[in-house]
Amino acid sequence: MLNRLLRSIAWILNRMPRPWALALGRLLGRGLYLFFPYRKDVARDNLRLAFPEFTNQQRRTILYRTYQHFGMVLIDFLRIPTLSLQNLEALIQMDDTQLREVHERGGGALIMSGHLGNWELMARKLVSRRYPLTAVMVPQRGAGGAFVQAIRDRIGCEYIPKKTSTRQMLRLLKEGRFLGLVGDQDARKSGVWVSLFGRPSSRPRGSAVFALQTGAPIIVGWCLLQKDRRYHLQFKSISTENLPAYRDQAIQTLTQRYTSALETAIRQHPEQYFWFHRMWKTRPVNT
């Protein structure tokens, strides 16, 4: 029943002019901010820990705009099935020089992102430019999961579950695939400790391990919404030079470099970050 309702809503939104649909998205975000408290307390706590120098009013403004932002992101996600290549080129600006150089050499790469901006459209854009992207994802379950996956299937990206074996992911990199990872969620006790907004945070170590084992470059990217309601897809290489000799220390250093790049991007666009997951859920021993 829910999947049928979502398909009907998407059908209507895909036939609206995008400015009208985005206006509905902003309205949806406002409604959720006012009437839907799910994980709102988590977002407030995260903002307080990330920006202790801000006033309560400044943090409330960021959170309010975050709801509006993801209302619009949801609308653009639902409109993916009818997004032509011509419209996609107009919607997303991208300088893919770094990606093109890696691809032309025939090598694989780790494309790292986070829950910032519109990561689903980022995948759509890379596929449209014929980059061999394989994205690691957590399969959607429960009500609406099949609907979300159906839209992702229209993106044209190859998806593999997060529980895919390390051996298979390494094989994809060695075959010249671009492995897409979102590495900004708490990794519990299996993660590596880094500093995020000046606080110890457990982050996934997979990207650093893969880079060290294969020599594949780590390239971070964020698909950020601009004032004119178009997106700008930015890329930046993470340096793998001057790493510590010991493997565990090298993994920690690489992970910190990625995390610092993410933090810089969040500080520049805090209203476009998904503050609703527990960023500091795991705590170091003796704290």
The pLDDT tens digits of the residues spanning 194-208 come to 999 999 999 999 999
C-alpha–C-alpha distance, residues 138 and 248, integer Å = 26
Which has the closest alpha carbon to 155: 138, 170, 135, 169? 135
> So what's the pLDDT on residue 149?
85
The pair phi, psi for residue 60, each rounded to 5°, is: -65, -40
Residues 137-149 have pLDDT tens digits of 887 776 677 888 8
Whole-model pTM?
0.93
Whether 164 maps to a domain, the answer reads yes
Whether 133 maps to a domain, the answer reads yes
> So what's the pLDDT on residue 204?
92
Q: Does residue 20 surpass a pLDDT of 60?
A: yes
Whether 107 maps to a domain, the answer reads yes
Q: Does residue 241 surpass a pLDDT of 60?
A: yes
Whether 39 maps to a domain, the answer reads yes
> So what's the pLDDT on residue 28?
94
Which has the closest alpha carbon to 50: 238, 257, 273? 273
The pair phi, psi for residue 94, each rounded to 5°, is: -150, 135
Which of the 8 DSSP states describes residue 282?
S
Residue with the larger pLDDT of the pair 42 and 145: 42
pLDDT above 70 as % of the chain:
98
What's the number of CA atoms in the CB half-sphere (13 Å) around residue 81?
A: 15
Number of domains into which the chain is organized: 1
Residues 106-136 have pLDDT tens digits of 889 999 999 999 999 999 999 999 999 999 9
The answer to whether 132 and 201 have CB atoms below 8 angstroms apart is no
Residue 286's pLDDT band, with cuts at 50, 70 and 90, is low
> So what's the pLDDT on residue 1?
61
What's the number of CA atoms in the CB half-sphere (13 Å) around residue 17?
A: 4
**Element spanning 220, H or E:** strand 218-225
The answer to whether 159 and 137 have CB atoms below 8 angstroms apart is yes
> So what's the pLDDT on residue 221?
95
Residue 7's pLDDT band, with cuts at 50, 70 and 90, is confident
Q: Does residue 279 surpass a pLDDT of 60?
A: yes
Average pLDDT of 268-284? 94
Residue 33's pLDDT band, with cuts at 50, 70 and 90, is very high
> So what's the pLDDT on residue 129?
93
Whether 139 maps to a domain, the answer reads yes
Whether 279 maps to a domain, the answer reads no
Whether 278 maps to a domain, the answer reads no
C-alpha–C-alpha distance, residues 159 and 133, integer Å = 9
> So what's the pLDDT on residue 2?
61
Whether 280 maps to a domain, the answer reads no
Chain-wide mean pLDDT for the chain?
Answer: 92
Residue with the larger pLDDT of the pair 181 and 9: 181
Q: Which of 96-105, 200-209, 266-275 has the highest mean pLDDT?
A: 266-275
Q: Which domain holds residue 240?
A: 2-272
> So what's the pLDDT on residue 32?
94
Q: Does residue 287 surpass a pLDDT of 60?
A: no
Which has the closest alpha carbon to 24: 37, 9, 36? 9
